[in-house]
Each structure stands twice: as C-alpha cells, then as structure tokens.
C-alpha cells in the first residue's frame, strides 16, 4: 500500500470510529435514557453549547484497569465527555457523564479526564459546567475510583472563587460523588430524574433501619425546600440547561474580569403600581418583595436562586441598565422577613459569590430582627448569623442598600449597613431605623409614664408616635450620617443606577492575610 492510501484508509476508519464513539454504551442504552425522559450525553452537549462550537478533549481515553469483567467493557471516552465550547459566545468547559457507559461510574481514567478539563478551565479562566449522571464510584476499580474523586474535589476547591462552577444533576448522584457539586457555586437538578444523597436507601435501611425512598431522601424537592443544596430545579433536561445558559449570562469568565453587560431593554418600573404603593406603611402588613425588586431592576432580568429555601430572604441576579448585580432582599411574606439560620447561610454564600466575581451588591431591607427562640439559639444562630455580617463586611465590590421599611437592631446592621462598609445607603421616607420597633421601644422607655397616665392606652400611642418621629425616622439617621439620603420610592431605580455607574471603578485593598476565618 502506498503512503497516501494508508492515510486515506486511516482517515476513513477515523471518521467511522468518531461516529461510533458517540454511541457510548450502545443504541439500547441510549434509547433507555430517552425513555426515562433523559437526554443522552451528546444531546445535552449539543443543546447546551452554541451550535457548532463544542470541541471534545480526550475522546479516545479508555479505562486501563482490569478484573471483574472490566476488560470487556472498554469504551472510548470511559463514560465522560470532556471539552469546551461557547455558551452565549463565552468559552465554557464541561465534563458530562454518560450514564450508558458503566452507569457513568467514575473510575481512574474517567476521573483523570475530569481533572484534566478542570485544570484547563482554571488555567484559561473559563467557567466550568459539570453534567452529572452517574451511579458513583466504579466499584470494580476500587481505590483508583476513590483517587479520581479526590482529584476532582481538590480541583473544585482550587477553582472556587477563580472561575464560576456550576453542577447540573441529570440523573443519580450518589455517595461521595455529591461532594463535587457540593463544593461548586450553583447546583441545578432535574425534576423526576435526578437525586442526590451521601448514602442510599439500602444502606440507610441496613444501618439505621429507616425506610425511605430515593425521592424522599434526595429528590429535587427535598434539596430545594429542606436542605438548601440546590439553586434551581428544572422540569426536564432542556429547561434545566436553559437555566444554566441564563445563569452564565450574568457571570464573568473568571475572578479577574467584570461581568458581561447586555442591553436588557426596558426599565423595570411596574407602570400600574407606584413603588410607594407596593410597600404598605403599616409595619405588620405584608407585600410581595419580588414585585419591588422587579420594579427597580431591568424588566424581566431578575433570576431568583434557591427560590424554595429560606424564603424569608430572596437572592438572585438582575441587571441595572444591563449591568449585572446581586440582589439580596428580606421577604416580609415569610417569617415577617426575620433573619434566621437558613436565611443567613443563604445570603452569606451568595454575597461571597458576588464578591469573588466582581458583581455589585444591591440590598433591599425590610427586617424586623433575628428570629427569636430556643430552636434558633440551640442550632447556632450566633454562628450562622455571623456569616452574613462577615460576608458583607469582607465584600469589596460596590455595595448599595435601600431601606424600604423596617430596619431594626442587629439585623439592620447585618443587612449591608454603612457600618459594614456599604458605599451608599438610602431609605424611603416611611422607613423605621432603630434598635427596635416604636411600640416595643415606647413600652420600655416610657414604662412609668404610660403606667401612671389617666388613659394608659392613649399615652402609649403618644409615646410611640414621639419615638417614631424623633428616633426611628430615617431623617434622624441621615442627619447622623448613618445613611446617605432619604429618597422617594419612585426615585430608587435612577438613584441606584447613578451610584452604580460611579462605583464600578471601586478598588479596595484589605489588610494582607492568608485568608479570613468565616464562622462555618
Ligand atoms: C460500576 C455500576 C455501579 C457502580 C451501577 N453500575 N452501579 N457500575 N460501579 N458503582 C452499573 C450497572 O451494573 C448497570 O450496568 C449500569 O451501571 C446502570 O445501573 P442500573 O442499576 O441498571 O441503573 P438504575 O436502575 O438506573 O439504578 C441507578 C442506581 C443504582 C440507583 C444509582 O445503579 C445503584 O444503586 N448503584 C449503586 C450506587 C452506589 O452505591 N454507588 C457507589 C456510591 S459510593 P449495565 O451494564 O446494566 O448498563 C461512592 C463513593 C465515592 O460513590 C467516594 C468518594 C469520596
């Protein structure tokens, strides 16, 4: 055979092989994925990346351990597709597990492939999206499988705060495998087809005798509502990947870049309802904080995260004239907007993400205080609440705060007050800023006068009013320089945008240290 003929033959074979390589564990297993309502790994990749932009890396890698029949199960790629492409035009790296190959189990080479793509993502400063669909450690490969996980966890930690990391759980994610997503910045799960747990139902039954189904143990609803592990639950693979694309549109590629600015069209002012009518002045009346957020940020730009968890605080990304911001807001519809353990954890982690990736913070305050009670104290509200104070204090991104109504006590300080380094704090005229609400305060400060009055009820009302006018009034805080301005609700968007445009150049040097010691 002549050289050219050899080349032609090889190219022909290569083409065939590349087509075959995309078949993973074979037609039957691929069909089974679709029957279960799951996309195959290549369908996911093609859906996630901008058309024609994906480049596979390490597609020929195969397992090199033997025993327990593994030698007959060699498949090019070893059950994970790794590579990079563009999403919204931005370079993104991925490791996508293929459940059709040995259940997407992680063996030595599978782990090495993921580690390699993570190294490239870190080196090149691009986000990493992991598509998890795996039975866990490949039992036949023993410690080689465990070493693979260890290498992945190590790199997840190294990448933390350097590149955004997103995990998408699109099937099982069992055992130690959960700790890779657990370290990443955001986790999305797919309804009906995904679950996450450290020990499965069988092990639990053996060890503790407790009987629980996979869904009750680690289904998407559990992780959205109870554990707070996930940021988002999608109805199916497509909608979950759509969410990932949307999330990425707010994020810079790495910690040295600023977030991408997109024209988000119209301003978000809700025309029919003036902002002052969105928030009732009566402190006990509730309202929809999401409407208030939407009335301030660019229309349709609010992407809420962890919507089902610790609903007393809302977090999410939004845009102001196209510029991404992280929004944190108390939610009076849940626990009257009090801060508790879960809300503090949720808020603190989000603030730290935004700070790590140069995303300015917009905090909307309506908080009556920390949730009182033994449950909170015994479970460590001191330790958890401190996280939010810590996260806001260490954040050096632009920090803007709007006090809408109540801002009482330690919770006032905690919600990005000027005392924690906020660059700009404004209050609406109807807000109350004080150690506690006027009723409680009047009952303590004027106890004797109220008790000895002819009409104690009337006297209490007068004292309350006097306290409100002289102490909780935001103009009092403004006169002391503790807030920067008192503005009409309708001026909020414009005021915040003006300040944001001045603050984007903010640069702060903190004292030199290895790292702080946030209370965990
Ligand atoms: C290798 C495995 C495997 C494993 C399943 N398979 N588990 N191969 N190692 N750990 C194979 C099956 O033989 C099957 O091969 C294919 O993967 C799909 O598995 P099924 O059981 O048919 O799938 P399904 O019915 O959907 O059930 C999924 C499942 C179940 C619920 C996840 O497979 C399961 O319970 N597996 C064990 C999970 C587990 O305990 N993993 C280890 C966790 S410990 P064929 O050829 O039929 O397609 C761990 C430690 C990590 O991960 C520690 C890191 C620190």
pLDDT tens digit sequence for 308-329: 999 999 999 999 999 999 999 9
Question: If you average pLDDT over every residue of the chain, what do you get?
Answer: 94
Partners of 315 in the β-ladder: 305, 328
- Residue 266's pLDDT is 63
Neighbouring C-alpha atoms within 13 Å toward the C-beta of 62: 12
Residues contacting 201, CB < 8 A, separation 6+ = 211, 212, 213, 214, 217
Encode pLDDT of 391-425 as tens digits: 999 999 999 999 999 999 999 999 999 999 999 99
Q: 422 near 400, Cβ under 8 Å?
A: yes
Mean pLDDT, residues 419-442: 91
Please tell me the residue having the least CA distance from ligand 1 atom 44: 175
CA 482 – CA 229 distance, rounded (Å): 36
Mean pLDDT, residues 2-20: 91
Angle 209-210-214 from CA coordinates, rounded to 5°: 130
CA 166 – CA 177 distance, rounded (Å): 15
- Residue 456's pLDDT is 86
**Dihedral pair phi/psi, residue 167, rounded to 5°:** -110, 135
Q: 459 near 453, Cβ under 8 Å?
A: yes
Structure tokens at 456: 């104690």
> pLDDT category, 59, cuts 50, 70, 90?
very high
CB 30 near ligand 1, within 6 Å:
no
CA 312 – CA 342 distance, rounded (Å): 9
Mean pLDDT, residues 38-44: 98
- State which ligand 1 atom lies nearest to the alpha carbon of 29: 48
Encode pLDDT of 127-157 as tens digits: 999 999 999 999 999 999 999 999 999 999 9
- Residue 175's pLDDT is 85
Residues in the chain, total: 520
- Residue 65's pLDDT is 83
Encode pLDDT of 239-282 as tens digits: 999 999 999 999 999 999 999 998 776 665 555 567 778 888 87
| Whether residue 410 lies in the annotated active site | yes
Mean pLDDT, residues 331-353: 97
- Residue 316's pLDDT is 98
β-pair type (128-134, 165-174):
parallel
CATH class of 3-248: alpha beta
β-pair type (485-486, 128-134):
unpaired
CB 136 near ligand 1, within 6 Å:
yes
- State which ligand 1 atom lies nearest to the alpha carbon of 36: 26
CB 428 near ligand 1, within 6 Å:
no
| Whether residue 25 lies in the annotated active site | no
- Residue 271's pLDDT is 54
- Residue 265's pLDDT is 63
Give ranges for CATH 3.90.226.10 in the chain.
Answer: 3-248, 273-430+473-503
Task: Find the helix or strand (DSSP H, E) in which 46 lies.
Answer: helix 41-48
Residue with tokens 């609903």: 311
Mean pLDDT, residues 344-352: 98
**Dihedral pair phi/psi, residue 129, rounded to 5°:** -120, 120
> pLDDT category, 444, cuts 50, 70, 90?
confident
DSSP state of 50: P
Q: Which of 176, 182, 308, 409 is catalytic?
A: 176
Say how many Å lie between the CA of residue 105 and the centre of ligand 1.
7
Structure tokens at 57: 């890396």
Structure tokens at 367: 């908080």
> pLDDT category, 118, cuts 50, 70, 90?
very high
Residue 63 has pLDDT above 70, yes or no: yes
- Residue 268's pLDDT is 58
Please tell me the residue having the least CA distance from ligand 1 atom 14: 103
User: Of 372, 164, 128, whose CA–CA distance to 251 is shortest?
Assistant: 164
Q: What is the gyration radius of the CA atoms in the chain, in angstroms?
A: 27
CB-CB neighbours of 293 under 10 Å: 21
Neighbouring C-alpha atoms within 13 Å toward the C-beta of 376: 16
CB 135 near ligand 1, within 6 Å:
yes
Least confident interval from 60-64, 203-207, 465-469:
465-469
User: Of 235, 194, 238, whose CA–CA distance to 99 is shortest?
Assistant: 194
- Residue 273's pLDDT is 66
Share of the chain above pLDDT 90, in %: 82
Query: Which of helix, strand or coil describes residue 205?
Result: helix
What is the three-state SS of 288-305? Answer: CHHHHHHHHCCCCCCEEE
Mean pLDDT, residues 44-72: 93
- Residue 272's pLDDT is 57
CA 406 – CA 367 distance, rounded (Å): 5
Confirm or reject CATH 3.30.565.10 for domain 273-430+473-503, answering yes or no.
no
CA 139 – CA 203 distance, rounded (Å): 15
Mean pLDDT, residues 11-18: 94
Say how many Å lie between the CA of residue 122 and the centre of ligand 1.
30
| Whether residue 234 lies in the annotated active site | no
């Amino acid at each position: 055979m002549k050289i050219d003929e050899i080349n032609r033959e090889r190219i022909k074979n290569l083409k065939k092989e590349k087509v075959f390589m995309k078949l993973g564990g074979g037609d039957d297993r691929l069909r089974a994925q679709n029957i279960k309502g799951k996309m195959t790994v290549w369908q996911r990749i093609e859906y996630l990346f901008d058309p024609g932009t994906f480049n596979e890396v390490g597609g020929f890698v195969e397992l090199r351990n033997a025993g327990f029949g593994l030698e007959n199960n060699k498949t090019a790629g070893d059950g994970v597709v790794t590579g990079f492409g563009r999403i919204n035009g931005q370079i993104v790296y991925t490791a996508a597990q293929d459940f059709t190959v040995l259940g997407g189990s992680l063996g030595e080479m599978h782990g090495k492939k993921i580690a390699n793509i993570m190294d490239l993502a870190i080196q090149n400063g691009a986000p990493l999206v992991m598509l998890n669909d795996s039975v866990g450690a490949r039992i036949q490969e023993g410690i080689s499988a465990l070493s693979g996980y260890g290498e992945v966890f190590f790199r997840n930690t190294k990448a933390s705060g350097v590149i955004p990391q997103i995990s998408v759980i699109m099937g099982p994610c069992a055992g130690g495998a959960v700790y890779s997503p657990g370290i990443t910045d955001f986790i999305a799960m797919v309804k009906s087809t995904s679950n996450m747990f450290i020990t499965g139902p069988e092990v639990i039954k053996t060890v503790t005798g407790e009987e629980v189904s996979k869904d009750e143990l680690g289904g998407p609803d559990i992780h959205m509502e109870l554990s707070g592990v996930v940021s988002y639950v999608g109805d199916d693979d497509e909608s979950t990947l759509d969410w990932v694309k949307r999330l990425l549109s707010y994020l810079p590629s790495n910690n040295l870049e600023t977030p991408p600015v997109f024209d988000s069209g119209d301003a978000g002012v809700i025309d029919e309802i003036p902002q002052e009518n969105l928030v009732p002045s009566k402190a006990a009346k509730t309202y929809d904080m999401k409407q208030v957020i939407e009335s301030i940020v660019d229309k349709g730009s609010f992407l809420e995260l962890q919507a089902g968890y610790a609903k007393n605080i809302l977090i999410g990304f939004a845009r102001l004239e196209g510029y991404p911001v992280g929004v944190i807001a108390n939610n009076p519809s849940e626990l009257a907007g009090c801060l508790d353990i879960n809300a503090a954890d949720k808020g603190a982690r989000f603030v730290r993400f935004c700070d790590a990736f140069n995303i300015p913070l917009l905090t909307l305050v309506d908080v009556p205080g920390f949730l009182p009670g033994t449950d909170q104290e015994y479970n460590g509200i001191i330790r958890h609440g401190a996280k939010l104070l810590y996260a806001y204090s260490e954040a050096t991104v632009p920090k803007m705060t709007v006090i809408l109504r109540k801002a009482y006590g330690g919770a006032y300080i905690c919600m990005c007050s000027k005392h924690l380094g906020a660059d700009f704090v404004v209050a609406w005229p109807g807000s109350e800023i004080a150690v506690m609400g006027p009723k409680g305060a009047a009952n303590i400060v004027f106890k004797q006068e109220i008790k000895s009055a002819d009409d104690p009820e009337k006297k209490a009302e007068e004292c309350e009013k006097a306290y409100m006018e002289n102490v909780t009034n935001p103009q009092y805080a403004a006169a002391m320089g503790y807030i920067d301005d008192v503005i009409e609700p309708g001026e909020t968007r414009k005021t915040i945008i003006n300040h944001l445009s001045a603050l984007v150049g903010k640069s702060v040097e903190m004292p030199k240290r290895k790292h702080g010691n946030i209370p965990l």
